[in-house]
Amino acid sequence: MTPAHEGGSMRPPREIVLTRDIAAPRALLFRLWTEPEHLMRWWGPQNMTASSVSVDLREGGAWRHCILTPEGREYWSRGRYLEIVPPERLVFTFAWENQDGKPGHSMQVTLEFHELGEKTRLVFRKVELPDDTELKLQTGGWEQALDKYTAYAEATSREG
């Protein structure tokens, strides 16, 4: 990815990179991103819950999820799976839907799962964010979502 030119100056691309070291096997961590019953338990920021999850897990397959605010406002997102390499890597597009149900600006998410002894390192990368406001909002949202994911993954691993 090359820097963008804005106003004659070089600017790094808008991307989010987050890392978590999680006390769970990577095969489980991969499943938690790809199985609806698990996604329903952690998808979304801290103050939101998943109300609908649809997954067609194949390259080119679609996904669509809805998160719900405490006040009942829905936020729908969707995308397509671009690369599926269990349990190492998952790549998909991500777009928020507008009020008419049409996808907005498309971004790309890459997840990498690396074994670290009894832990797994998750590297989350989201690229092609449209602007600095969206970058800030999504960084905070994904940090919270990954905190929920980590807690759920570790609890699920202990139970299993």
- Predicted confidence at residue 13, as pLDDT, reads 76
Strand partners for 109: 92, 126
CB 146 within 8 A of CB 20: yes
CB 148 within 8 A of CB 42: yes
Cα–Cα separations (whole angstroms), residue 73 to 48, 76, 140, 152, 154: 10, 10, 19, 24, 29
CB 121 within 8 A of CB 20: yes
**Residues of the chain under the 50 pLDDT cut:** 1-8
State how far Cα 159 lies from the chain centre. 24
98 exposed, middle or buried (CB, 10 Å; 0-12, 13-18, 19+)? exposed
16-159 maps to which CATH number?
Answer: 3.30.530.20
Largest CA distance in the chain: 55
Cα within 13 Å of Cα(153), Cβ side:
26
Q: What angle is formed at CA 76 by the lines to CA 155 and CA 91, rounded to 5 degrees?
A: 65
**Domain map of the chain by residue range?**
16-159
- Predicted confidence at residue 160, as pLDDT, reads 77
User: Model-level pTM greater than 0.75?
Assistant: yes
- Predicted confidence at residue 7, as pLDDT, reads 47
CB 92 within 8 A of CB 80: yes
CB 80 within 8 A of CB 61: yes
The CB density around residue 44, as the number of other CB atoms within 10 Å, is 22
